[in-house]
């Protein structure tokens, strides 16, 4: 494995950052997760654009031009000879002092990791998964905009722990008003009366690249989509439910908080989207 750190490649054993890096000390930084299909990075420009938007929102200067960073990602994939895999692109505030002031960090660090990834066994895509509602609420959008993909994921990690404690792989997170925002690492969708609905970013949902791709696919197939206010009642009474994310792709959900969704099997719309999504990414 060759890991890119600030313009140089390191082995996994030698890839290190300073203990004074603000990404480590305070979760001060941003990141993107990307997929490699057939040797190509899927939606690279969109991910890079979102990374720079996140960095701008937290006043973090990425020490590379967008085109140069795109090329660095592509070169790191080639250096690792990956045909299919996962990329973690991380920008930390950089090395500083033991204090919050980011001005003490002279230069941000750029890290690119290319590796394998399989979040769920293949059988789950055929049978679906069960999820629960997490007691931990999503951070309010007026405190931290959910469109910022920051290194501080403690809010999501706590909800993930609660999911695991309930014997599930994922959990639904509600916002402070009780509306559905997202899952711990994925966007969530429901299908009701042949319409696809997903929470809007202002309800605490990440503006997901895979989420947008799925909505574009659905619209091209003539399926109505919308970003809406969704409650647990809506989840329980949905005809279908599925999750989307870079790692998960499209994952059917068949039970939420012990309530069967539809007939308890992945729905036809979900199956249809999975097939079309895989055609798109492998094209």
Whether 47 shows a pLDDT value over 90: the answer reads yes
Closest to 52 (Cα-Cα) out of 38, 63, 36, 39: 63
Residue 23, pLDDT score: 97
Residues 252 and 219 in one domain: yes
> 56, 80, 115: which is the final residue of a domain?
115
d(CA 263, CA 216) in angstroms, rounded, equals 27
Same domain, 150 and 192: yes
Among 99, 115, 131, the domain boundary falls at 115
Same domain, 134 and 254: yes
Query: Looking at the structure, do residues 105 and 137 belong to the same domain, yes or no?
Result: no
User: For the whole model, what pTM was predicted?
Assistant: 0.94
Residue-wise pLDDT tens digits, 95-152 = 999 999 999 999 999 999 999 987 788 899 999 999 999 999 999 999 999 999 999 9
Residue 129, domain extent:
122-281
Q: In the 8-state DSSP scheme, what is residue 277?
A: H
Q: Are residues 148 and 276 in the same domain?
A: yes
Q: Is the pLDDT of residue 282 over 90?
A: no
Stretch 63-88: mean pLDDT, rounded? 97
- The CATH number of the domain where 19 resides is what? 3.30.470.10
CATH number of the domain at 167, please: 3.20.10.10
Please tell me the distance from the alpha carbon of residue 255 to that of residue 171, in angstroms, as a whole number: 11
Query: Do 126 and 71 belong to one domain?
Result: no
Whether residues 211 and 237 share a domain: the answer is yes
Tally of structural domains, the chain: 2
Span 182-216, pLDDT tens digits: 999 999 999 999 999 999 988 999 999 999 999 99
Q: Which residues pair with 261 in a beta bridge?
A: none
Regarding whether 140 and 211 lie in a shared domain, the answer is yes
Domain end, chosen from 100, 115, 130, is at 115
Q: Are residues 19 and 139 in the same domain?
A: no
SS (H, E, C) 206-228: CCCHHHHHHHHHHHHCCCEEEEE
pLDDT at 161 over 80: yes
Please tell me what DSSP assigns to residue 42.
Answer: T
Within this chain, do residues 41 and 172 fall inside the same structural domain, yes or no? no
In contact, 36 and 82? CB cutoff 8 Å: yes
Q: Looking at the structure, do residues 141 and 110 belong to the same domain, yes or no?
A: no
What pLDDT score does 119 carry?
76
Residues with catalytic function: 149
111 and 134, same structural domain? Answer: no
């Amino acid at each position: 494995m060759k890991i890119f750190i600030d313009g140089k490649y390191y082995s996994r054993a030698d890839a290190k950052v300073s203990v004074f890096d603000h990404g480590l000390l305070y979760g001060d930084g941003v990141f993107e997760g990307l997929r490699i299909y057939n040797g190509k990075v899927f939606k690279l420009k969109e991910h890079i654009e979102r990374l720079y938007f996140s960095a701008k929102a937290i006043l973090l200067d990425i020490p590379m031009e967008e085109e140069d960073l795109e090329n660095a990602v592509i070169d790191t994939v080639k250096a690792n000879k990956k045909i299919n895999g996962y990329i973690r692109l991380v920008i930390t505030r950089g090395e500083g002092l033991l204090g919050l002031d980011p001005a003490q960090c002279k230069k941000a660090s750029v890290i690119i990791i290319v590796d394998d990834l399989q979040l769920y066994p293949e059988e789950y895509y055929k049978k679906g998964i069960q999820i629960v509602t997490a007691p931990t609420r999503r951070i309010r959008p007026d405190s931290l905009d959910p469109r910022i993909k920051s290194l501080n994921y403690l809010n999501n990690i706590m909800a993930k722990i609660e999911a695991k404690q309930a014997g599930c792989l994922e959990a639904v997170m509600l916002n402070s008003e009780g509306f559905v925002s997202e899952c711990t690492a994925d966007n969530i969708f429901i299908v009701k009366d042949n319409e696809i609905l997903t929470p809007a970013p202002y309800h605490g949902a990440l503006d997901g690249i895979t989420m947008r791709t799925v909505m574009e696919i659905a619209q091209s197939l003539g399926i109505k989509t919308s970003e809406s206010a969704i409650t647990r009642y809506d989840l329980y009474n949905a005809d279908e439910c599925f999750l989307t994310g870079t790692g998960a792709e499209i994952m059917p959900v068949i039970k939420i908080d012990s309530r069967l969704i539809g007939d308890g099997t992945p729905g036809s719309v979900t199956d249809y989207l999975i097939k079309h999504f895989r055609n798109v990414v492998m094209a």
